[in-house]
Structure formats: structure tokens, C-alpha cells
Structure 1
Amino acid sequence: MDTIKNYVETLFLEFPNTKEVQRAKKEILTIMEDHYLALLDEGKNEHEAIGQVISEFSSVDELREELEFTAKEEPEGILEEEMYQYLIERKKDAKGLSLGISGCLLAIGTLIGLSIRGAGMIGVLLFFIIIAISVGVIIYSGMQFSKNNSRLNDRYIPRDVNKEAQKLKQGYQKSFQISLVFGICLCVLSVSPIFFFQLFSYAGYGVPVMFFFLAIGLFLIIYGSINYHSFDKFIKEKYFIADEDALGPNALQEKYGDAVQTKYLLERIYWPIIVMIYLSWSFLTHSWGYSWLIFILAGLLYQILEAIFVKK
């Protein structure tokens, strides 16, 4: 029986996890199990019965025809052109975010370097200018990240888009590895300029160079990592997820199935109740010093409740 159940699960992998699909899956499983038992009654052994049952249900197309699944019933999916556009925009935003973070390190290096040269006031001025520009770039890039994600949020990811994303990720893997290795090496070697300048009794000059090395190293690590993991948006899930903490209706249905309403209700009422208990207990007993432990216990209880009532 387990062999038949596993086979049915494999047949339905490409279908969205909707109530209709779940109902059809149960129907097919019941038909196959009944047929399996009938074959056993006819005198066939277990292996012969399983083989015959599977051979008679070997086509997904036949399942579609029998259960009246048609292509038009599949949800509107993300087009390959939309995926390419998203990845292009994502790469631009990743570059801006990486430059912004690296710029903050360069600002510190500039301040220290000019202070050593006796131009402390100019260093302070440039420090605030570079920091202001870098923070602005970080904020703008973050807003663009959110904007680009929201365009595709909760839309179905077709198999051809999933496969194309896997190919693109494999093609980018070498570039990611190079950027990661060089980035980590630069971060590790960033202290070497201090020892180098110390040989000439100018150890202080090595500090701004150290921040320069760190800035380049972090840029390579962050930029490469964001681009590499951008492909996962089209690989790991059936529906595009813009924010893991705020799943759309389709993604919620796919992840939690029939328990989606329980999950929604749990998220809306659980933590407000916990906060009310915490405040009531603290005010009544004046035990502010340790009453906060209720949040730790509540977190553990939440995981237990989710495992029991929500997770499939």
C-alpha cells in the first residue's frame, strides 16, 4: 500500500495544492487501492498486483482526462520574460545595496586616513558626505527590492520557468564562487596592510587601507550572494514569495493546505492574548523582573500548536 501511496504522490507533484487536487488525489488512491485488493483476491501476489495497478495509471495526461483537469484550470503563471526582467532589476538593486554598505566602510577609512594626515576637519566633512550618500543608496535599493518583489508576489511559477531558473543558477555558480572566495580572502587579508606599514613605522597608515580591503571584500560577498540566491525565488516554491513573513493567499494555501484558516486565526489571536497575559500578570504581581519569560514559553508553545494544528 505504501508503494501505491508514494506513486500517487509522485503523479500529483506538478499540480497545485488545491482542494480540488487533494480530492482528486484521494479518489485516484481509493481506485488504485481497491483495484490492488481485487487483484489480490484473484490470486496475484503483492508484487504482481502493485505492478499491474501502476501500469494502468502510468500517465498524468490520462489522469487529467479522467478527472477533467485541463490546462486552463492552472493558475496564471509568471512568464520567462518577467523572470528575466526581475533578475535584471534585482542585480541593479544588489549592486546599489552592496555599494552602499561598502561606502560606509570607505567613509570610516577616509576619516581615519585624513586624520592621520592632519586634515581631520576635511575627514569629518567627507565622512558625513559619504555616509549620507551611502545610506541614501541603501534605502533606495531596499525600496526597489520591495517594489520588484511585490510585482510578482503570490503568482504561480510554471515548471518551464522553474527549470530555466535552475539553469541560470547553475550558470552563475562559478561567478558566485569566485566572488565569494575573493571577497573572503580580501576580508581575511585586510589586516595585512597594518603589519606592512608597521615595518616602516607607519602602522597607522595601514588602518584606512584595511577598511578599503574590507569594503571591496564585502561588496563581492554581498553582491554575489544576493544575485545567486535571487534564482531561488523561482526554484524553491510553487508560488513567488515576496516576503516570508507575509505569504500571499496562494502561497499560504500551498504551504498549509486545508489548515490555512487555522494558521491565519493563530497568527491573529495568539500573540495579542500572550501580550494581555504578560501585562496582566506583571501589573497584578509586580513581577516585571521575570515575567518576560512568558514570551520564551509562548514561543515554544506556538511552535507546538503550529505543529499540531497547522503544519501538513
Structure 2
Amino acid sequence: MDIIRKYVEALLAEFPQTDSLLVYKDNLLLEMNMKLKKFLEQGKTEKEAVGFVIAEYGDITERYKLIQHEAVERTPALRTMYKQEAEEYLLTKKNAAWMISIGVVLCILGVAALVSLNMTPADALRFLGAIDRGVIGLVLLLTFIAFAVGLFIYSGVRMEKYEILEGKFILENGYETEIKEQSDRYEKTYIITLITGVVLCILSPLILIIPNSIEETPNGAELLVFFIIIAIAVFLLSFFGIIRDGYRYLLRIGEYSEELQQVKRGTGVFVAIIWPLAAIIFLLAGFLWQKWNIAWIVFVIAGILNGMIKSVYSNMKGGNKDA
């Protein structure tokens, strides 16, 4: 009725007209009108029924304040990240990108050294004398991996203080626009390096496929070139991708949005297994069965499975929320 509506609107006029207030107002009017109808059915006059309804609900402003207070308590407080701290984060992220990317390259070069030495004809390595080339390759592999692990650990420690935020922050007022502009400018660089890295990965097996086409087994030099190309591609993808992640983390977009962070936490175990497994299958198919020309498909399959798992998990989470 108009009397109840005017009463509700008059009392709630002091509050900002937010979505939560409108929802509260609509629900309240629905409840009060149902009560009014009930009193009228009991034989009360219209004025009596309105009086009973208003008396029963009391001060609706206090009720709304209580609801808002409970909502604030349920919402975790977001700390403010100021410009200086954000710039320090981006600088630390860039340094971490260098260390992680170099570490990955060292791992690849370690494998390259081991495989290349074992595939190189013995005559070409006569200068090694009686030293076992397999031992030399293994020493180089372990040395490179040791340095790489050191870089990974150091970069992880440097970034640890930012990871505890888990995206639960807001940027200083006005600074988010500046970061958005920087991110947009950097996106062009990222796209170029992404395309370059992917193209290099796709073309790199040609170094091994061409010798096979003329019935020759790839020698150590060809394998070394293959791994160097892969290392360059991976460096581009890793270095520029990590820096891009820094901007996206500050803006809390893409994979760093709250929704996708929940999906990431839920599917993290699967992702940690599927990609290393795909890499192992790729290398085994190439070295054991010489299937370099089709082995790359395993990464496509892994990507599809990864997307499917995340999509299913996301839909399940959405279904649970609706329930």
C-alpha cells in the first residue's frame, strides 16, 4: 500500500541509494504488505492493520544498519598498496623474471650439454682423451641445474612477501589508472615476444626433422642448436610473461581476479602434474621414437585438458554458490 511504501521510503531516505538498500527496501515492502494482508483478513481495518505492521517492524533504519554492519564484518578488509610499494613490487617482479628465465634456460642448456655430448661422434671429441663424455655431460647438467635452483629459490624468497597478500589489496587512489596505462603499453611488447617465442618453438624441430628426412641421425651439433632455439623461445615467453603477470596482479585482472584465483587454487594440483607430464612425453616421444614431427601435439592436448578441468571446476563452484 502507498502508506507503507511512503513510510519506508521516508525512513530510509537518509541512506545512500545503493543496490543493497534497494534490495532491502523491496524485501521489506514485500514482507510488510504480506503482514498487512494477514491483518486485513483477520478483520482489522486498514488503519489498524497499518498500525500493527509498523509497530511489529519497529525502527527499520536500525535493522538496515545492523544488516550493513554484519555485511562489512563478513567482508575481509582490503589494505591499500601505495605507489612506492607497487613500484617496488614491479621492480622485484622484473628481477625475479630475469632470475627465473635464466634459471629455466640453464636447465635447458644442461640437458642440451648432456644429450649433445652423447650424440656427438667420438672422433669429434678426441680432445677429451680418456674422460667419459657421459660423465662430463652429467656434471654440466647437474651444475647448471644447481645454479638454476639457486636462482629459483632466491627469486621466490624475494617475491614471498607479496604473495601473502593473495590479491587482497587496493591500489592507492588514482594510481590504478596509471598502472592500467603502463599495462596497456606493455601488452604490445608482450604480444610480439609471445608470437616470436611460439614460432621458434614450432620451427625448432626442423633442425632435427631435416636430417631425418635424408636418413641421417641428428648429431650433437644439431641437437645443441635445437636446444638453444628452445632456450631462446622459453626465455622470451618466461621473462616477458612474468613481467606482464606483475601488472595483472596489481590490477587484479585475468588469472589474478578473485574468481579465477579460486579456480587456480582448486585446480593447482592438476596443473602441477599435467604440464611436466606433457614435457616428459614430448621428450620421450622425440628421443626414443623420433616422433618430433607429431610429439608437440601433447602440449595441445595438455592445454585442452587444462582448460576443461578449470572450466568444470569453475562451473561447479558457480553451481554451489547458486545453491
Structure 1 equivalent of residue 206 of structure 2: 192
The verdict on how the C-alpha distance between 1:229 and 1:153 changes in structure 2, with shifts beyond 3 A counting, is closer
Structure 1 residue 136, shift from structure 2 partner: 2.5
Whole-Å Cα distance in 1 between the matches of residues 178 and 238 of structure 2? 24
The verdict on how the C-alpha distance between 1:77 and 1:214 changes in structure 2, with shifts beyond 3 A counting, is same
Answering whether residue 205 of structure 2 is matched by residue 203 of structure 1, we say no
The verdict on how the C-alpha distance between 1:111 and 1:22 changes in structure 2, with shifts beyond 3 A counting, is farther
| Amino acid aligned to 2:261 | E
Structure 1 residue 150, shift from structure 2 partner: 2.9
The verdict on how the C-alpha distance between 1:153 and 1:31 changes in structure 2, with shifts beyond 3 A counting, is closer
The answer (yes or no) to whether the contact 2:83–2:171 under 8 Å persists in 1 is no
Task: Give the TM-score of the pair, scaled to structure 1.
Answer: 0.52
Structure 2 equivalent of residue 244 of structure 1: 261
Answering whether residue 175 of structure 2 is matched by residue 172 of structure 1, we say no
Structure 2 equivalent of residue 144 of structure 1: 158
Structure 2 equivalent of residue 16 of structure 1: none
The runs of at least 4 aligned residues of structure 1 exceeding 4 Å deviation read 21-25, 28-32, 195-202, 299-302
2:81 to 78, 91, 114: 78
The verdict on how the C-alpha distance between 1:95 and 1:300 changes in structure 2, with shifts beyond 3 A counting, is closer
Answering whether residue 244 of structure 2 is matched by residue 228 of structure 1, we say yes
Any stretches of 5+ residues in structure 2 without a counterpart?
Answer: 1-14, 27-76, 123-132, 264-312
The verdict on how the C-alpha distance between 1:185 and 1:153 changes in structure 2, with shifts beyond 3 A counting, is closer
Structure 1 residue 143, shift from structure 2 partner: 3.1
Whole-Å Cα distance in 1 between the matches of residues 315 and 206 of structure 2? 49
Deviates more, 1:109-118 or 1:119-128: 109-118
Cα deviation digits, residues 235-292 of structure 1 (max 9, x gap):
236x997x9359xxxxxxxxxxxxxxxxxxxxxxxxxxxxxxxxxxxxxxxxxxxxxx
Cα deviation digits, residues 85-114 of structure 1 (max 9, x gap):
111101111221122122111111011222
| Amino acid aligned to 1:190 | S
Structure 1 equivalent of residue 115 of structure 2: 112
Cα deviation digits, residues 10-53 of structure 1 (max 9, x gap):
xxxxxxxxxxx999544478899xxxxxxxxxxxxxxxxxxxxx
Larger Rg: 2
Secondary structure of 1:88's partner? helix
The answer (yes or no) to whether the contact 1:105–1:211 under 8 Å persists in 2 is yes
Whole-Å Cα distance in 1 between the matches of residues 206 and 149 of structure 2? 28
Secondary structure of 1:77's partner? strand
Secondary structure of 1:156's partner? strand
Answering whether residue 93 of structure 2 is matched by residue 90 of structure 1, we say yes
Whole-Å Cα distance in 2 between the matches of residues 75 and 130 of structure 1? 42
The verdict on how the C-alpha distance between 1:31 and 1:159 changes in structure 2, with shifts beyond 3 A counting, is farther
Whole-Å Cα distance in 1 between the matches of residues 257 and 315 of structure 2? 29
| Amino acid aligned to 1:213 | I
Whole-Å Cα distance in 2 between the matches of residues 88 and 301 of structure 1? 36
The alignment of Structure 1 onto Structure 2 pairs a total of residues equal to: 198
Task: Give the TM-score of the pair, scaled to structure 2.
Answer: 0.51
The answer (yes or no) to whether the contact 1:234–1:240 under 8 Å persists in 2 is no
Whole-Å Cα distance in 2 between the matches of residues 175 and 301 of structure 1? 33
The answer (yes or no) to whether the contact 2:180–2:251 under 8 Å persists in 1 is yes
Whole-Å Cα distance in 2 between the matches of residues 180 and 187 of structure 1? 11
Structure 1 residue 139, shift from structure 2 partner: 2.9
Structure 1 equivalent of residue 106 of structure 2: 103
Whole-Å Cα distance in 2 between the matches of residues 180 and 107 of structure 1? 24
Structure 1 equivalent of residue 287 of structure 2: none
The answer (yes or no) to whether the contact 1:77–1:156 under 8 Å persists in 2 is yes
| Amino acid aligned to 1:144 | R
The answer (yes or no) to whether the contact 1:95–1:223 under 8 Å persists in 2 is yes
Whole-Å Cα distance in 2 between the matches of residues 99 and 150 of structure 1? 25
Secondary structure of 1:114's partner? helix
Structure 1 residue 186, shift from structure 2 partner: 1.5
Whole-Å Cα distance in 2 between the matches of residues 153 and 301 of structure 1? 22
Structure 2 equivalent of residue 155 of structure 1: 169
Alignment RMSD (CA, Å): 4.2
Whole-Å Cα distance in 1 between the matches of residues 135 and 209 of structure 2? 27
The answer (yes or no) to whether the contact 2:101–2:238 under 8 Å persists in 1 is yes
Structure 1 residue 145, shift from structure 2 partner: 2.7
Structure 2 equivalent of residue 216 of structure 1: 232
